[in-house]
């Protein structure tokens, strides 16, 4: 007999019950304005909630001013609570839970957004953010860790059910974790316990506040083997409600996070003129291409499932009912998706109505990624008036 599906069964994520096992992952919408929410951001997440998802996640919210990379990014502060509450209340009316990802972009920030020279675990120059970086002082490290706790308070006031701590993808927490970006010689660098110190400080603040506010906590974590497994075990000891297993380091290989071919002409088209020239000349050498395959992180993620007892969330290349069932059958409690829900916010309802052959119309030509940081995250299939050269480039992609 075919195993009964878990996909549309409820799941209790800490104090919040999700109506099914699907989460809209925290892919950057680029739909904010002046570091706050907009009607466009609200309409998108409401459409995903109306489309049947268990929980939708607002992405990439900075815990403080120094963590901002983009003007369209959220800066989680009391001034934007009314606008965020408008979103969470609308999402709840559609039957979905609401989460917000909190983090600090570290060496991926810019002076114009962060209001200072970008800070990170160590000093240097970030070629992918085209900016110098200054190593954080000890007092700054303590202050930013406390900002994570304050961000949870703000998220609670805004009506969110869950926070997702971004500890992956080469942003600030993972800049401390990785010897690639952490060359410190003090108590925050060198050995793995030292490099984990900032992560532990942030989780101390987050978990204390979340317990007081009765909120769920997820942590996004990279799954490079073997050191990442030891870090995941440390995260597990905090009693978080789940780990989102992802991969990729934006200042080394940006497309390792998402996979699929990136249309370089399209990406450069939406950039400032000087950066446009740079990307057209050197983009093919700087941005490694990763072919897309469904469930592209699953085999590595299974190694974590075998070693950890806490709930795990699978993310990475889910575009069909069959792929989602494969992840759930491998022991993952929940799944996250982004591009399938950019292509069609009602994809989850279509999964419910269909069978194991139901598949997203997303073809992973990554137009949505190419325009994400300059405009907003939109599927090319919803943009009928694309310039001719962009249409031609997309048509040539496999």
Residues annotated as catalytic are 171
Q: Please name which of 57, 134, 59, 138 lies closest in space to residue 98, comparing C-alpha atoms.
A: 57
- In angstroms, the Cα distances linking 305 to 21, 218, 396 are 17, 16, 39
Q: Which residue, chain included where needed, has tokens 């009316």?
A: 93
Residue 102 near residue 151 (C-beta atoms within 8 A) = yes
C-alpha–C-alpha distance, residues 358 and 377, integer Å:
24
CB-neighbour burial class of residue 306 (10 A; exposed 0-12, middle 13-18, buried 19+): exposed
Angle at 76 between CA 174 and CA 91, to 5 degrees: 105
Q: Where are the alpha helices (DSSP H) in 308-387?
A: 321-329, 339-343, 347-353, 367-372
Asked if residue 25 lies in contact with residue 101, where contact means CB atoms within 8 angstroms, the answer is no
Looking at the DSSP bridge assignments, the partners of residue 24 are: 56, 337
């Amino acid at each position: 007999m075919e195993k009964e599906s878990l996909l549309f069964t409820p799941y209790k994520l800490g104090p919040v019950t999700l109506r099914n096992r699907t989460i809209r992952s925290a892919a950057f919408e680029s739909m904010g304005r002046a570091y706050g929410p907009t009607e466009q951001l609200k309409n998108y997440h409401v459409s995903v909630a109306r489309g049947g998802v268990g929980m939708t996640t607002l992405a990439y919210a900075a815990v403080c001013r120094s963590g901002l990379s983009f003007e369209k990014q959220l800066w989680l502060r009391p001034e934007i609570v009314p606008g965020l509450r408008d979103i969470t209340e609308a999402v709840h009316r559609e039957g979905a839970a609401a989460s917000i990802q909190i983090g600090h972009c570290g060496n991926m920030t810019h002076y114009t957004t962060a209001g200072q020279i970008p800070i990170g675990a160590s000093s240097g120059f970030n070629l992918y953010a085209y900016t110098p970086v200054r190593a954080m002082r000890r007092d700054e490290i303590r202050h930013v860790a406390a900002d994570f706790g304050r961000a949870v308070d703000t998220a609670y006031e805004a009506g969110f059910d869950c926070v997702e701590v971004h500890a992956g993808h080469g942003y600030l927490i993972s800049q401390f974790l990785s010897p690639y970006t952490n060359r410190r010689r003090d108590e925050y660098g060198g050995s793995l316990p030292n490099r984990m110190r900032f992560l532990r400080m942030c989780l101390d603040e987050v978990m204390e506040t979340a317990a007081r506010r009765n909120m769920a906590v997820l942590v996004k974590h990279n799954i490079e083997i073997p050191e990442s497994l030891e870090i995941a075990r440390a995260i597990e000891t905090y009693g978080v409600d789940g780990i989102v297993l992802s991969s990729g380091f934006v200042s080394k290989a940006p497309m390792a996070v998402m996979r699929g071919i990136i249309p370089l002409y399209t990406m450069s088209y939406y950039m400032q003129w000087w950066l446009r020239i740079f990307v057209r000349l050197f983009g093919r050498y700087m941005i490694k291409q990763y072919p897309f395959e469904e469930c592209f992180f699953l085999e590595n993620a299974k190694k974590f499932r075998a070693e950890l007892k806490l709930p795990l969330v699978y993310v990475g290349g889910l575009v069909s009912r069959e792929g989602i069932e494969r992840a759930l059958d491998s022991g993952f409690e929940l799944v996250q998706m982004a591009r399938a829900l950019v292509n069609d916010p009602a994809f989850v309802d279509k999964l419910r109505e269909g069978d194991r052959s139901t598949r997203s119309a997303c073809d992973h030509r990554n137009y949505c990624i190419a325009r994400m940081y300059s405009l907003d995250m939109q599927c090319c299939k919803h943009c009928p008036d694309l310039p001719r050269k962009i249409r031609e480039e997309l048509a040539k992609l496999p």
